[in-house]
Structure 1
Amino acid sequence: MKRIKLNFKDKSLISLSGRPFGRDIYEAQIANNIKDEREVILEFPPQIVSIASSFAQGLLAVELEKSGLDNVKRKFTIYSEVIGFEESFWESFD
């Protein structure tokens, strides 16, 4: 199992949005760290309290195209100290 603590340079960010921004974070922080991993935990910093569906969809777009939503949900666990964050993240794909 691989745990990736996501890092955002702008420490004042409390919300994430934008499909291109999500893709950029995937390419910079996730893509090269998950080769051959069957389980991955994506840990969001505590100051991030919400995300737009566009960010979530961009973040996992490459994985969704390769494997489909069900397999992506099995592979990735979303972790945040914010209550309801993981549910909100996955609701972005409904």
Structure 2
Amino acid sequence: MDDVPRCRSRATGIAGARAAFSGFVDLRPEFKRDVLSDVIIDDIALMRANWGVVTPDEAIMMKGGFADIGETLETGLDRCLADRPNGPTTRA
């Protein structure tokens, strides 16, 4: 993974974005998530999950968890109303 560009320079435009992410894309990573719970009432949902980005040989590139509140719009699209990108806080 040493060929993945680091944030040392600025990339602009589509060509710049493609060049900046080419090493990452070449690794063919897969986003996986493990849903811990979904609580759904009408069109509002509280979702908790763990996630990971892994290479085809299952090497973990990054991992984390999240807790989100979302709704489904009349168009069928989902909209995030509240986001805790680092996952729920655990209290003893």
**Higher helix proportion, which one?**
1
**Higher strand proportion, which one?**
2
Structure ID, larger Rg: 2
| TM-score normalised by the chain length of structure 1 | 0.23
More relative contact order in 1 or in 2 (CA 8 Å, sep 6+)?
A: 1
| TM-score normalised by the chain length of structure 2 | 0.24
